[in-house]
Structure 1
């Protein structure tokens, strides 16, 4: 009886260890920004709009986009959770793109933009999916760090600010988009930070991603 019970316990332990070992690596957080340099990132038409200061990427200057081109997932993400700490300055407008791709200039033609804007004249506020599922109430204040989290699973996109859900959007099987936004659909791709205009200053730090299996 004792030996039989011991054997059952050992089998259960081995099963638990095997399940743990088989846990997908996608569940672990991986940093995208080292806090010191822009290694792994590439800026488009106006590289001077981005600099690293006090452990953060400071975005201010003419229109430009800073694309992640690093080694994590070969900078190609489909299902994931992205988390950033963000601080907007008064009157700032920026955004975080996902499922996008490098382009030399212009607003990214591919992927979705998660708006970052708590007080600028554009009424679309932080956490909304720009021009798809907009948010019109600022969920955070200027000059205060907040956490922005984006989770994409299949056709479902959710955004959170300080763990408060802002958007829960499921893309239709055949989404209708205007011609100038035909690329605003789910696929796969990289991330990009937006420099919107010279009067907009936004800081990003502790940028990390958790690929989902």
Structure 2
């Protein structure tokens, strides 16, 4: 009888230790997963400052050129799509930043979650507006036709930072570190026929050449992929 009691006591002691070890393991796994979720990757340049390597222009390639470390956008309507190797040009959750400068009367935009399209304005993805003095009232930082900004927050002829953050269904847009848009896409969102592609999904980026009278500069174009 004494022998059985001793064995039973040893068994309970072993089981107690196993339970504690399992609890510790689960806690460490949970912490590790949380760390991975909250840790953003490093910033990655999408533009080398010298060429349009990794980018592909639609319909009017002459609208885009590189001078003095900047992409200059000037000419007939065209869009410059990122088609490079970073994330195989397919982004879902990310931070995107670019330094931008507009000339008076200029209109442009930064598309995300889009795909290469040979002609016309991209039908897939969202456009973040670049416009400080064009006749279109939607100003820099607008999530175009979804959540628009009427206030002019930056000036022509001056460099500013446009910062786009997408996490899940939330889009945050900052101009010079000031948040101008916070938008959460509703579940099962419905768009009109002409805006069917304006939903959060995945895809690449594109810089817009809006019209021959618009001149815009982009530099320090970079992305930081996010894990969730």
Q: What secondary structure, in the 3-state scheme, does the structure 2 residue paired with 1:149 have?
A: strand
Which residue pairs with 1:167 in the alignment?
181
Any idea what the Cα deviations from partners look like across 1:93-134, whole Å, max 9, x if unmatched? 000000000011111010000000000000000001000000
Q: Name the CA distance, whole Å, in 2 between partners of 1:23 and 1:205.
A: 30
Q: Name the CA distance, whole Å, in 2 between partners of 1:54 and 1:111.
A: 30
1:76 to 90, 106, 131: 90
Which residue pairs with 2:77 in the alignment?
63
Q: Name the CA distance, whole Å, in 2 between partners of 1:76 and 1:95.
A: 19
Q: What secondary structure, in the 3-state scheme, does the structure 2 residue paired with 1:82 have?
A: strand
Which residue pairs with 1:29 in the alignment?
43
Any idea what the Cα deviations from partners look like across 1:28-87, whole Å, max 9, x if unmatched? 100000000000000000000000011000001100000000000000000000000000
| Structure 1 residue 26, shift from structure 2 partner | 4.7
2:221 to 193, 207, 210: 207
Q: Name the CA distance, whole Å, in 1 between partners of 2:71 and 2:134.
A: 20
2:56 to 13, 38, 42: 42
Q: Name the CA distance, whole Å, in 2 between partners of 1:57 and 1:177.
A: 33
Count of aligned pairs: 195
Which residue pairs with 1:11 in the alignment?
none
Which residue pairs with 2:194 in the alignment?
180
Which residue pairs with 1:111 in the alignment?
125
TM-score between the two structures when normalised by the length of structure 1:
0.89
Q: What secondary structure, in the 3-state scheme, does the structure 2 residue paired with 1:73 have?
A: helix
Structure 1 gaps of 5+ residues are 1-14
| Structure 1 residue 178, shift from structure 2 partner | 1.3
Q: Name the CA distance, whole Å, in 2 between partners of 1:58 and 1:166.
A: 25
Structure 1 stretches of at least 4 aligned residues deviating more than 6 Å after TM superposition: none
2:98 is the alignment partner of 1:94: no
Which residue pairs with 1:132 in the alignment?
146
| Structure 1 residue 23, shift from structure 2 partner | 5.4
Q: Which structure dedicates a bigger proportion of its chain to helix? A: 2
Structure 2 gaps of 5+ residues are 1-27
